[in-house]
Amino acid sequence: MERCKPRDDSTGLIEQPGTKVWDLPFMFANTKEVYALLDGASSKKIFKMLEPTGVVGLMWTGMGFRNLSNSKRPVTKLDDISGLKVRVMANPVALDTWKTLGANAVPMAFSEVFTALEIKAIDGQENPLVHMYSNKMQEVQKYISLTNHVYTPVALVVSKKFWDGLSDADKQGIQKAADEPKLLQRQLLDEGDKDVIGKFGTAGVKVDAIAPADLAKIQEKVRPVVTKFAPQIGEDFIKEFYAEIDKVRAAK
């Protein structure tokens, strides 16, 4: 078995159009919506899309929401992003998203990011909070904005050849062994996010939430990005994905 996740410097999971839906900006309002989608029909459909590559998907979990950090100024509204030199993944959707928001988007391997921030070659970057803290972004960044603009998923997959050789009982056992820890992983990730926000504050990093009205303006600004990439990902599939999100919201 292996984990299958978007590398920080890649264009997504295994290169299948459906997996790129996770690159679209500002789809989710909270982790409740994310976890429902990770366990829902659309994510199962992505696993079906991946089977021709020789893998069988067992479960989805994640690395968390990506957020923006920088060394220049607090970012709490759309205008604050303008002109910031932000490292982003070498990913067409990410590049277009940040350019549309007014940033100077710079594709760069993550291994180069800390040094680039340290020498002020770039102003900021975007990553999940726990990932930022574990990579010592608090030493080179002054501000974090809780943009929650993209959720980074992780999939647990197994070789299809191996899977097809198992008995039904063994398949059920392995599936159970995958399903149980995903809930613990999500719990630990949620707790970790809260924990590192406090640690960032202790380290002198200002962590800002974004007011709903200001977030709505940012979301509206990037709608053309979704429209642009929808044909590549699959317009019908995207509609199904958003319909699932709407169903979760309506159930509140």
CATH entry 3.40.190.170 includes domain 2-250: yes
Instruction: Using DSSP, state whether 40 is helix, strand or coil.
Output: coil
Phi, psi angles (nearest 5°) of residue 120:
65, 25
Question: Are 112 and 9 in contact, with CB atoms under 8 Å apart?
Answer: no
Q: What is the pLDDT of residues 199-247, one digit of tens each?
A: 999 999 999 999 999 999 999 999 999 999 999 999 999 999 999 999 9
Would you say the pTM of this structure is higher than 0.75?
yes
Pairing of strands 143-159, 2-4: antiparallel
- Residues 46, 138: Cα–Cα separation, whole Å: 35
| Residue that the structure tokens 């501000």 belong to | 143
What's the distance, CA 22 to chain centroid? 7
The answer, yes or no, to whether residue 252 has pLDDT greater than 90, is no
Q: What is the pLDDT of residues 12-43, one digit of tens each?
A: 345 566 788 999 999 999 999 999 999 999 99
198, two tokens:
């406090």
**Whole-Å CA distances, 29 to 78, 152, 204:** 18, 14, 27
The answer, yes or no, to whether residue 6 has pLDDT greater than 90, is no
CA angle, residues 157, 6, 133, in degrees to nearest 5: 115
Percent of the chain residues past pLDDT 70, beyond the cut: 93
Question: Are 80 and 200 in contact, with CB atoms under 8 Å apart?
Answer: no
- Residues 244, 151: Cα–Cα separation, whole Å: 16
Domain boundaries, the chain: 2-250
